[in-house]
Structure formats: structure tokens, C-alpha cells
Amino acid sequence: MEFFTTSLLNGISYGLLLFMLSSGLTLIFSMMGVLNFAHASFYMLGAYFAYTTTLFVGFWPSLLVAPLLTGAVGALFERWCLRRVHRFGHVAELLITFGLSFVILELVQLTWGRSAVDYRVPAALDGPLFTLYGTQFPIYRAFMMGIALLMLVSVWLLLSRTRIGLVIQGALTHPEMVEALGHNVPRVFMGVFGGGAALAGLAGVIGGNAYVTEPTMAGAVGPIIFVVVVVGGMGSLAGAFVASLLIGLVQTFAVALDQSALGALQSAGVAVTPETFGYPLLKLKISQVAPILPYLLLVLMLIFRPKGLMGTREG
Amino acid sequence: MSAVLKTAAAAPAGARQRVHFRPWNVGRWVVWGGFALLLGVAPLVFTSGLAMTMLSQMGYMIIICLSYNLLLGQGGMLSFGHAVYVGLGAFSAIHAMNLIGAGRLALPMSMVPLAGGLAGAGVAALLGWVTTKKSANTFAMITLGVGELVAAMALMFPEFFGGEGGISANRTAGKPVWGISFGPQVQVYYLIALYCFVCTAALYALTRTPLGRMLNAVRDNPERVEFVGYNTQVVRYLAFIIAGFFAGIGGGLTALNFEIVTADSVGGFRSGSYLLFTFLGGAFFFFGPIIGAVLLVLAFVLFSEITKAWQIYLGLVFMFMVMFAPGGFSSLIMMNLRVAAFGKLRRLASSYLALGGTGAVALAGAAAIVEMIYHVQLNSALGPTLRFMGATLDVQRLDSWFGAVFVMAVGIAMFEVARREFKRQWDETQQEIEKEIKRREIL
């Protein structure tokens, strides 16, 4: 029971972090049709910016400053690079973000070095929140969940209940009409891209100290959020939410399990020796298989339900 | 030059007899003959050991990049997992080599790359069935996921992938055929060159087949292809398998060349570099990836020796290329060839000189800054000074930094002036060429 509760809570907090990332990716994709390969790089940038700004202004202000800086980088990139390649089509857009992820990785290594930086949870949030079945649940995990939910609700309110959201939605479907009404549509897109990057930056600020802030963090989480977006259904926020929690839980539970098919067979009374067919496969522990589970889920999803969990379109 | 007159003798009764006039395509013979000659003569010109290994690497990189371009350029499929097929081809080849060494497989060593190719095609047939269900952006994400899947599995199954150390083999094992033991590097090179030529020719021939044409159609207008009655998914799937086959051949040649394959040969970094250099070479023309492959080997072997910061230069060059010349180097060459064909290249020459000169100044300044930052990050134990293009820079003194920034700023400003002038001239030339083409059409 203890194991179950801890894993459940950890899985949910990791899943919510994944959703913070995949929501920004989904937003940018559904609004601009751009698949942002560098989204995880913005996550990394957010963590590193937070590390540096925390040294100067402390954690709480950097909770605001670091995402803004990341958003500014994203907006500048949209203005000077992405907009230029827009006319070459979606492949060129994907390629330029691929190039950006490459450059950001190198710049981060150039500025902050190749090893992990010491970006810590602030003292006020350090420590257990409550104890359940003898296991402590850290305050910071609860804080992460709170921030994630707060962010999602505010983004949803912004898009569906305000005038700004109305203009953004209009610019998506009827750009000429919105332009005729006097709105600067390219600037709206710049804002959307910058906003998506800022969301990723915020995820970096609160994820960077919960996990590790190092140059490989973008490469580790990048493919996973793509899996989340495909499994959830391209462009579907609700699907991304379900898929993030699913993958967060699956990975957290799997890492903690030491059982293998070999053990199961042996306890069932089947004699398995190294000569048995498929022995290398049977002896793998579930915790060893954990890294590939999201990708297996992706493949299975594509075979049995190609449009994703909540996707609407095939194609 | 002899011309071939062909009569459509087998025309069905009632149909009008048609006469085809087909002159020999001289240019094609010259180009392919030149390519074969280049492959044959290169090791006689560049005889050093380093040059020999580089030439060998270029040989199979050409196959790999061309096979990648079958997806990217011909089929419009942006794959982030091409290293899977190259790498698994390489692993199969190395296992085949070990079987030959153990005397359990009667196969001449020169056929080993084909084993790699079959493995690549097999894996592509398996995984491609899933990945090619989608196209465009979703395809890219799925190939990334599948690539990560295989890369993670490579560490889970040390029996096949050899774990951290990789798997090694001996290419001189087995019976020599016609006295070729593959001991000396030059024998391996000529085998690679032969494979390179045959594969290049095969891939070119593929672009001329109905399948190759349909693949282009699927890239350009999938909806219309569906209406015509083709299944786009099947076309993509077939192309994917063929690309996997040639990628596997390339992988098999790497195994033969290095005699060792490690798990990182299926990893994401390799996939990324195949993509990057194929694009740099140019995806729009068939010969683009050949340029890309040569650049890849030059960058990985030579450029990485010159500077530690080569990856950042590479990333920036790539981004600039996507923004300003999405056709890569090959399209730049072809555009200038067109200008030259109309005899107007001479007019642009001075502009090119100005562009090159000012660009070099800007680059020198930028490179000095990057090198100094790298020096601060990595080599500060070696003292504060570094040599850069004959000058001594001191990272602790402000004047070095100021000088570098100044050089870069001046370079950029002058480059912008030169660029505007060049753009004006270039547009003028292009307009004249368009006019000339129209005029010739009328005549």
C-alpha cells in the first residue's frame, strides 16, 4: 500500500509536469501548425535561467522572470527565424526548430558547462508535507502539482474567456478577417509561440530543481512529450492531459518494480534455464524495461488506434 | 554521335505506328563515367592513411545519405530515426562476419554488406508498417519515438548489441576470394567504392521508375494520388523498405570498415547528423546528399580536430541554410550554374568577392568570441591565452573581447551593405534570365 501511494503521487506529479510541457507543444501545434522540436530545449533553458536568476533575486521572483526570459527567446526566434521559413512549408519549420534545439544545447553547455548545476528546491518548500503509511510526501511535489494546475486553468481561461483568447482563436481560423479588424496577425503568432515557450520555461523552473538541471535534460524529456502528443491525439489538449498522466504513472510504477517474466514463470513452476528460447527477453526486469514503455505504448497506439486517444482526425 | 531509331513494332493493330527518336544522353554518360573515375582514382591521389579512412567513410556515407534522401527529398518524409536501419544493418553485418569467422556461414566477406542491407530492409518492413501509417509532422514524431525505442533496447540486450563495449569482428576471416583478403585498407576502399557506385546508380534508377515518380507525387499532392487510385501509405511503405535496404548496406560497410559496432550507432545523435548533412547537401537534387556525405566526413574527422566548438558552428550553419537556402549546397550550385549558362556569372563575380570577404571578417570575429568562451569553459587550466588564426587572445583582458566584438560588428555591417548590392544584382540577373527564356520559347 505504501509503495502504491508513493508511486501514485510521484507518478501524478511527473505526469503533470509532462502535461505542462505537452500542453505548450499542443497549443503551438494546433494554433500555428508548427511542430516545435525545440520545445524541450525551452524547458531546459527555463531551468538554467531559473538557476541563474535564483542566485541574484531568489526563487520566487525567478518563478516569474525565468519563464518571461524563455518566452522572450521564443518570441525572438519566431520573429527572426520561424517567420522567415513559414513560406517553405511545415518540413522547413520542423527543421529550423531542430536546428534551434542543436544550437540551444551547445549554448547551454557553453554558458553553464557540461555537468549538472546545483539548482535546489528553496528552503521554504523543502521538507515533508504529510506522512502517509510511513512515507513522507515532499511539499515541493504538491507545489509542482499546484503550479501545473494553476497554469492550466489560467491558460484555459485566457483562451476561452478573454478578448485576447478570442483574437488568437480568430487568427487561427480567419486570419484575413482578424487582420481586417486591425489586429496584427503575425504579432499574434509571435505571442503564441513566445507564450508556448514561456510555459515550457515555467515547467523548467519547477521541474529543474525537482529533478536534475543538466544539458541532457532536454534530450531525455523531448521524445517523451512527442509520444504524449501522438498518444493523446494530435492537437487535443484533453488527450494530452490523459496521455501525460498515463505515461507519468506507467513510468513511475515500472521503475520501482523488480519483477521479471522469468520470476513469474519460475514461481509458476516452469523451469527456465539460460538455454530456454527467449531467455534474454524473459530475464529482463520491469524496471529495466521502463525507459521503452512510452515508446511501446506509442507503437501499440498506432497499430490499434491511429488517431490517438482523443484525436479527431486520421491522417 | 549515333542516334537510335526505335519503331514501336509491338503496337496493337489499328494504333498508329509511332517512331521514337532517342539520341544518346551524352551528359549522363559523362557524369556517371566521371563519378566512377573519381571513385577509382581518389585513393591514388590521396594516399595517406587518414585520407584513405576518410575516403572509405565518404563512400558509405554517400549510400546512407542517398538512402535518407529517398525519404526526405523524394518522399517528403522527415525521419528522425534513420540510424536505426543503418545501425541494425551494421550489427547484422558484424554478426555475419563473426559467423564467417567461426566457419558457420559460407559467405564471401564482400557479400557481408548485403546481409546488412537485408537486415535493414527487414527491420524497415517491420517498423515501417507502423511509422508510414502517418505522413508529415506525425511521421517525424513517430520515427523519433521508434528511434528512441530501438536505442533504449540496444542497452537492454547486450547479447546482440554488445552493451557498452560493442561487438567486434575480424574482416580478414574466411577464405580470400581472388586473393582479396580485405587486410589492407585499400581493398576495403575499393569494395566500398564499388558498392557506392552500384547503390548510387540503383537509387538514381529508382527515381526514374513508376514507383519513384509516384513517391514524388505522394510528396507533392497526396490527396490527388489517392483520387487517382493509389494507396499513399503503400507507396510510402515501399520507399521506406527500400531506404532501409540501402541504409543497411551502408551500415554493413561501416561494420566491414571499422570491424566494431557500438550501441550508439543506432542512437538519436547519428540520426540527427544524417538528417542535418543530407539537408545541408540539398534534398531537392539527386546529387545533393553526395555533397552532404562528403561534408559530414570532413566535419566529423577534420573540423572537429580544429575546434572544439564545431557543433555550434554546424547548428548555426544549418539554421542559416534552412532560412536562406532551403535547397542546400546543391541548389546553390545549380542556381549559379544557370547564371553561368546564360553567361552572366562574370557580372556577379565582384559581388561574390565582396560577400565572401566581408562574411569572412564577420565570421572571424564571431569565431574568436566563441573560441574564447569555449576556452573559458574548458581550458582555463591551460592559462588565459589562446592562439586564434595567428593572433594571441587573452580571455582575462577586455581588449581581446572588445576587439573580437568590434571585428564581428564591422564585418556584419559591411556584409549587410555587400548583401544588399548583391541582392539587387542577383534579382536583376534572374529577371534577365527569365526574359531570355521567354524569348527563346517564342522563337
Whether residue A43 has pLDDT greater than 90: yes
Put simply, the answer to whether A230 touches B145 (Cβ < 8 Å) is: yes
Is A103 within 8 Å of chain B by CB?
Answer: yes
Across residues B219-248, what is the average pLDDT?
90
Is A292 within 8 Å of chain B by CB?
Answer: yes
Higher per-residue pLDDT: A208 or B384:
A208
Shortest Cα distance, chain A CAs vs residue B339, angstroms: 23
What is the pLDDT at residue B240? 92
Q: Which band of pLDDT confidence, cut at 50, 70 and 90, is reported for residue A59?
A: confident
Residues 6+ apart with CB under 8 A from B281: B65, B288, B289, B290, B291, B292, B293, B294, B295, B328, B329, B330
Mean pLDDT is lowest, of B264-268, B389-393, B431-435, for: B389-393
Complex confidence, ipTM: 0.83
Cell 566581408, residue located: B358
Mean pLDDT is lowest, of B136-140, B242-246, B378-382, for: B378-382
Shortest Cα distance, chain B CAs vs residue A204, angstroms: 22
Mean pLDDT is lowest, of A145-159, B136-150, B222-236, B375-389, for: B375-389
Residues 6+ apart with CB under 8 A from B402: none
Across residues B416-430, what is the average pLDDT?
85
* Torsion angle of C-alpha atoms B93, B98, B100, B105, degrees rounded to 10: -80
Is B146 within 8 Å of chain A by CB?
Answer: yes
What is the pLDDT at residue B1? 38
Put simply, the answer to whether A299 touches B149 (Cβ < 8 Å) is: yes
What is the pLDDT at residue B7? 43
DSSP B283: S
Query: By CA distance, what is B76's nearest residue in A?
Result: A91
Query: Which span out of A113-117, B70-74, B346-350 was modeled with the highest average pLDDT?
Result: B70-74
What distances in angstroms separate CA A273 from CA A199, A228, A258, one per listed residue?
51, 38, 19
Across residues B24-47, what is the average pLDDT?
82
What distances in angstroms separate CA A49 from CA A25, A59, A143, A205, A260, one per listed residue?
20, 11, 20, 8, 42
Q: Which band of pLDDT confidence, cut at 50, 70 and 90, is reported for residue B287?
A: confident
Q: Which band of pLDDT confidence, cut at 50, 70 and 90, is reported for residue B248?
A: very high
Put simply, the answer to whether A94 touches B326 (Cβ < 8 Å) is: no
Helix axes A90-112, A217-232, angle to 10 degrees: 150
Q: Is B182 helix (H, G, I), strand (E, B) or coil?
A: coil
Put simply, the answer to whether B145 touches A291 (Cβ < 8 Å) is: no
> Which residues does residue A135 pair with via DSSP β-bridges, in sequence order?
A132
CATH 1.10.3470 residue ranges of chain B are 46-334
Is B76 within 8 Å of chain A by CB?
Answer: yes
Whether residue B241 has pLDDT greater than 90: yes
* Helix (H) or strand (E) segment spanning residue A128: strand A128-132
Architecture of domain B46-334: Orthogonal Bundle (1.10)
Nearest to B144 among A96, A226, A234 (CB): A226
Nearest to B146 among A81, A107, A299 (CB): A299
What distances in angstroms separate CA B48 from CA B53, B55, B282, one per listed residue?
9, 11, 30
Q: Which band of pLDDT confidence, cut at 50, 70 and 90, is reported for residue B330?
A: confident
Is B374 within 8 Å of chain A by CB?
Answer: yes
The pLDDT tens digits for A145-193 are: 888 888 888 888 888 888 888 888 888 778 888 889 888 888 888 998 9
Shortest Cα distance, chain A CAs vs residue B362, angstroms: 19
Average pLDDT over chain B reads 83
- The rounded percent of chain A whose pLDDT value lies above 70 is 91
Put simply, the answer to whether A229 touches B141 (Cβ < 8 Å) is: yes
Rounded distance, CA A250 to CA A10, Å? Answer: 11
Is B376 within 8 Å of chain A by CB?
Answer: no
Whether residue B391 has pLDDT greater than 90: no
Predicted model pTM: 0.84
The pLDDT tens digits for B194-229 are: 999 999 999 999 988 999 999 999 888 888 988 988
Across residues A232-250, what is the average pLDDT?
85
Whether residue B13 has pLDDT greater than 60: no
Q: Which band of pLDDT confidence, cut at 50, 70 and 90, is reported for residue B2?
A: very low
What is the pLDDT at residue B392? 73
Cell 527572426, residue located: A80
Put simply, the answer to whether B309 touches A35 (Cβ < 8 Å) is: no
The pLDDT tens digits for B392-421 are: 777 777 777 888 888 888 888 888 888 888
